[in-house]
């Protein structure tokens, strides 16, 4: 169920305000999903942040993907960094992992517990160790100055195959392998909380594995590509002199991402209650919610939400 907010928050731009997000999370008794960043591709300067999410359940926070902006967006929700329990990465593209390390260090400075865990595809362990080594001096200065316990390592579990990932008192997490060449493995995740289930496609071409994973879920968050706008964008870039070929770039997009029509079909096949369109490609403000929603509505008869930054679902 979406949280009720004024209509202006739904139609007046790509973001909810921090105050609206905080209000929706205040005293929440059920599990909440916050879309921290809803833009696909590692392109800076847009009104939408790069892909990231946080789920809040029973006072514990679980972050999925760490695109640029995740740390600020997390803070804007009002969720304390001490609540952060686990971080999950779907795949190693910059719009999904570039702020993983900074989230750890800034989170630690602001109260994140040292037993935070991280999950994701290889080489996440090596990446984490390399980042900790690179920022050891920074951490040591804070330790000396504020007498803090040092952040020296993170408990990392690499995920290379479909199946169970982890389980705690709040949630059971499982993963699937999705199609996002040449990235291997690229993951989708399902989070089964006590009161609701939330599935994430990750970045993928249309995949029956996603429909199977999301079967009966309350919420499916699926990447979405609006092909006409992508075609217009590519032709515009070529006209500006960018050295790319239309056919080559469109072949890449179709091999790696899911047109919004197929997103609707997958959601209908999965039988989910709510479909959230996110990781929007292209993430242009000029594309209306109705334009995003219409192709999916041809197939999916449940609730369709066009994701906005800081939206609480």
Above 70 in pLDDT, residue 164? Answer: yes
Residue 150 to residues 44, 127, 146, 285: CA-CA distances in angstroms?
32, 19, 10, 42
Above 70 in pLDDT, residue 185? Answer: yes
Q: By C-alpha distance, which of 85, 90, 138, 146 is closest to 116? A: 85
Q: In the prediction, which pLDDT does 1 show?
A: 39
293-296 — which CB contacts under 8 Å span 24+ positions?
A: 295/226, 295/259, 295/260, 295/261, 295/264, 296/224, 296/260, 296/261, 296/263, 296/264, 296/267
Cα–Cα distance for residue pair 60/42, rounded to 1 Å: 29
Above 60 in pLDDT, residue 313? Answer: yes
Q: Is 137 helix (H, G, I), strand (E, B) or coil?
A: helix
Identify the band that residue 14 occupies on the pLDDT scale cut at 50, 70 and 90.
low
Structure tokens that stand for 52 in this block? 């990231």
Spatial contact of 224 and 204, defined as CB atoms under 8 Å apart: no
- Tell me what the mean pLDDT of segment 215-233 comes to: 96
- Tell me what the mean pLDDT of segment 291-296 comes to: 97
Above 90 in pLDDT, residue 99? Answer: yes
- Tell me what the mean pLDDT of segment 9-17 comes to: 59
More confident residue, 113 or 285: 113
Q: In the prediction, which pLDDT does 15 show?
A: 75
Query: Could you tell me the pTM of the whole model?
Result: 0.94
- Burial degree of 42 (CB within 10 A; 0-12, 13-18, 19+): middle
Q: How many Cα atoms sit within 13 Å of 220 on the Cβ side?
A: 31
φ and ψ at residue 284, rounded to 5 degrees? -90, 135
- Tell me what the mean pLDDT of segment 192-199 comes to: 98
19-74 pLDDT, tens per residue? 999 999 998 889 999 999 999 999 999 999 999 999 999 999 999 999 999 999 99
Residue 135 to residues 71, 100, 130, 150, 159: CA-CA distances in angstroms?
17, 13, 9, 11, 25
Q: By C-alpha distance, which of 7, 53, 49 is closest to 220? A: 53
Q: In the prediction, which pLDDT does 284 show?
A: 86
Cα–Cα distance for residue pair 64/36, rounded to 1 Å: 10
Q: By C-alpha distance, which of 114, 57, 56, 67 is closest to 90? A: 67
- Tell me what the mean pLDDT of segment 161-174 comes to: 98
């Amino acid at each position: 169920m979406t949280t009720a907010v004024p209509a202006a928050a739904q139609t007046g731009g790509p973001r909810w305000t921090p105050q609206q997000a905080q209000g929706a999370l205040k005293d929440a008794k059920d599990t909440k999903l916050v879309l921290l960043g809803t833009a696909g591709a590692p392109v800076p300067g847009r009104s939408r942040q790069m892909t990231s999410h946080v789920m809040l359940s029973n006072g514990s926070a679980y972050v999925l993907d760490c695109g640029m902006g995740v740390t600020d967006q997390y803070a804007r929700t009002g969720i304390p960094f001490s609540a952060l329990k686990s971080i999950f990465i779907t795949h190693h593209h910059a719009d999904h992992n570039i702020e993983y390390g900074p989230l750890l260090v800034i989170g630690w400075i602001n109260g994140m517990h040292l037993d935070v865990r991280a999950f994701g595809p290889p080489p996440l362990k090596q990446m984490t160790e390399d980042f900790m080594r690179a920022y050891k001096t920074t951490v040591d200065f804070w330790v000396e100055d504020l007498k803090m316990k040092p952040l020296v390592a993170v408990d990392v579990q690499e995920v290379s195959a479909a199946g169970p990932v982890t389980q705690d008192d709040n949630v059971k997490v499982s993963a699937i392998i999705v199609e996002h060449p040449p990235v291997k493995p690229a993951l989708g995740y399902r989070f089964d909380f006590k009161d609701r289930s939330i599935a994430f496609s990750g970045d993928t071409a249309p995949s029956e594995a996603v429909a199977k994973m999301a079967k009966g879920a309350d919420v499916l968050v699926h990447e979405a590509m609006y092909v006409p706008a992508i075609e217009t964008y590519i032709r515009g870039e070529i006209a500006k002199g960018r050295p790319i070929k239309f056919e080559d770039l469109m072949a890449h997009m179709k091999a790696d991402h899911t047109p919004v029509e197929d997103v609707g079909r997958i959601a209908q096949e999965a039988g989910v209650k709510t479909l959230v369109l996110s990781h929007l490609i292209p993430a242009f403000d000029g594309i209306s919610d109705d334009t995003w929603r219409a192709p999916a509505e041809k197939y999916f008869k449940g609730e369709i939400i066009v994701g906005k930054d800081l939206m609480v679902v």
